[in-house]
Structure 1
Amino acid sequence: MKVALFSAKKYDQQSFQQWASARLEFSYFDTKLDANSVGLAQGFDAVCCFVNDDLSAPVLDALYQQGIRMVALRCAGFNNVDLDKAKTLGIRVARVPAYSPEAVAEHTVAMILCLNRKLHKAYNRVRDDNFALDGLLGFNLHGKTIGLVGTGKIGKATARILLGFGCRLVCHDLSQDPELVQLGASYMNLEDLFVQADVISLHCPLTPQTAHLVNESSLLLMKDGVMLINTSRGGLVDTKAVIKGLKSRKIGYLGLDVYEQEADLFFRDLSEQLIDDEVFKRLLTFPNVLITGHQAFFTQEALQQICQTTSDNLLAFSENRLAGTEL
């Protein structure tokens, strides 16, 4: 079975060569899948895509015309896929719903700690032989109220870590997790969570209902100086509203591993180019903002699980079986 793997990086190729089934023949394309590159899928049986690949209706139409009947997502999110169009065309779509919740959870907590204790600033100071503590004052996480929006596998893994710090957890989700309730977490509506939390961390999928979950109105509900962390999907946050919140000091700390316009930025080395995204460049001017380039998932364990699950999904298609991760 021949598979075209788009948005391929060196680590993708190494991982799939190491952990994917030998029955699958992968060809690696470093370009992302979109209307301009879809012709590269000609002659393949399936495509393997990542978070910023374009699987809108026109692209799916083009894939169908080339004989593609399977899209294997090597990620959990699927907001970049027109699922209704795929169903109409008879193109099967599968994803990797749980590769390593702990990877993203640990990165989330790392961002909280780094912002709070200003580790990124301290690192640079010491390298300049500056050992002054002025401007590095943090706060104890112990006893603070942490709001988790979404308590699926990643949110739950984050909750377990934060409970170990002695935090009070308030959560919002469509359904409550009995284990988290037993451990002491409280579930409440989103508005009450925004009002109570000292730190808010987003762990929900991007849907029409959750798009710009953090906006000018919801920011007004939050505590002055709130810490906001997003390691889920960039579109959950209205970036322009967040910039206003930073300028007004409503947001005291901002940690982003995702960005709503990241498709033209992340997963590439742009150090020798000018970045035209003025909103993103504005974010970088704030000293209390920490941005990483969608790397929360990026651990050896996660890559192995992604490759193995993606491989299983593709083999299920080739054998005309239903994969348990199909959408």
Structure 2
Amino acid sequence: MKVALFSSQKYEKPFFNDAVSAYPNLDIAHFEHALSMETVSLASGYDAICVFVNDDVNACVLAELAELGVKFVALRCAGYNNVDIEAAHALGIQVVRVPAYSPEAVAEHCIALMLTLARKTHKAYNRVREENFDLNGLLGFNIHNKTVGIIGCGKIGQSLVSILNGFGAHTLVFDPNIGEGSYTKVSLQMLFEQSDIISLHCPLTDATHHLLNDEAFDIMKPGVMVINTSRGALIDTQACIKALKSKKIGYLGLDVYEQESELFFKDRSEDIIQDDDFIRLSGFPNVLITGHQGFFTKEALVEIASTTVENLNMLDCGEESPNSV
């Protein structure tokens, strides 16, 4: 099987090289370009493509892939909102994914965002670097005894609950698909009303698109902390900016962004960023943004590469992958 891996990053090549070494039937070629209508021709001569979160695998792209003879799409991530699954199935293209890759990695990054915002360690670091040891403006708050609302409680959400329970926080969960646990199940409105911190851990679907919008922010406590390490479009960016300006949102931690495909995973340090909303968000003193690195640990990359390669090998052998979408 010849595989075209799109949006390839230097950091992931060693992990895929190690993973594929045990499968001589797989030949993976790396392309730095993201998959789109403009780049789909690169898949010519390949049996499968491997894509990440910001590759565009829409119906038109899939039709072109089918014309090129591509039979398989392997996602090296859990979410598949960027793939038109119905169109893929109609074209006879099989889709597989990596449903879980060190959920602790994302949960721990979520905690890092919470603690950094709560204790202003990023600002303290910059001050001390300039030999400024003044504590004024660095007053923080305890997570202990705070109410943290978690929207979506799959593997990552469960891992976050465990960590927060260790902090002595009160965890509320909204997720229709889970039972009782070491948390309190509540309605979405109750979670909005009662939470001091809200963290998003649900997939992006039509139902969850702009889940945090004007109406949702209106219900929340003044000064609420909002954390998103899931998918950018779960938050309505315009509504979020308004909530920051009105101080309804007191702290915002983002590892994802609604229009991140034009920004993240690239060096933009010498560019003039054209996204006015992103510039506005990053200018708030109470906003912390990281570039979709929640998954970015050695453990997670090993799991992503090994599961992706195992998925491809099963497809090549004509077997049904348990990770089919």
- TM-score tier (shorter): over 0.9
Residue matched to 2:202: 204
Corresponding residue number in structure 2 for 1:297: 295
| Structure 1 partner of 2:317 | 319
Q: Which runs of 4+ in 1 moved over 3 A?
A: none
Q: Does 1:187 align with 2:185?
A: yes
> How far apart are 1:18 and its partner, in Å?
1.6
- 2:23 alignment partner in structure 1: 22
| DSSP 3-state at the match of 1:316 | helix
- Whether 1:131 and 2:133 are equivalent positions in the alignment is yes
Identify unmatched segments of 5+ residues in structure 2.
Answer: none
Matched, 1:56 2:58: yes
Shift of 1:11: 1.2
C-alpha deviation, 1:176, in angstroms: 2.5
The one-letter code of the counterpart of 2:283 is: T
Contact map agreement 1:256 1:290 (CA 8 A) in 2? yes
Percent identity, please.
Answer: 55
- In the aligned structure 1, how far is the partner of 2:120 from the partner of 2:84? 41
What's the RMSD between the two structures over aligned residues? Answer: 0.7
Moved more, 7-16 or 198-207: 7-16
Residues in 1 aligned to 2:36 and 2:174: alpha-carbon distance in whole angstroms = 35
Shift of 1:22: 3.3
Match of 1:10 in 2: 10
2:11 is paired with a residue of what secondary structure? helix
Q: What residue number does 1:238 align with?
A: 236
1:180-204 per-residue CA deviation (whole Å, 9 max, x = no partner) reads x2x2x11011011000000000000
Distance between the aligned counterparts of 1:314 and 1:22, measured in 2? 10
Residue correspondences, number: 323
Alignment of 1:1-327 (within 5 A): 1-20=1-20, 21-23=22-24, 24-178=26-180, 181=181, 183=182, 185-327=183-325
**TM-score normalised to the size of structure 1?**
0.98
Q: Offset at 1:292?
A: 0.2
Q: CA deviation at 1:19?
A: 2.1
Whole-angstrom CA distance in 2 between matches of 1:192 and 1:263: 33
In 1, Cα distance between the equivalents of 2:112 and 2:7? 27
Instruction: For residue 175 of structure 1, report the CA deviation from its aligned partner.
Output: 2.1
Letter matched to residue 173 of structure 1: D
C-alpha distance in 1, partners of 2:305/2:277?
A: 34
TM-aligned CA deviation for residue 73 of structure 1: 0.2
Moved more, 21-30 or 206-215: 21-30
Residue identity matched to 1:169: T
Query: TM-score, normalization: structure 2?
Result: 0.98
Aligned mates of 1:256, 1:188 — CA distance in 2: 24
Report if aligned partners of 1:151, 1:177 keep a CA contact under 8 Å in 2: no
CA contact (8 A) 2:23 2:313 kept: no
- One-letter identity of the residue aligned with 2:126: N
State the Cα deviation string for residues 252-309 of structure 1 (Å, max 9, x = none).
Answer: 0000000010000000001011110000000011000000000000000000000010
In structure 1, how many angstroms separate the alpha carbons of the residues matched to 2:304 and 2:267?
23
User: C-alpha distance in 2, partners of 1:22/1:210?
Assistant: 39
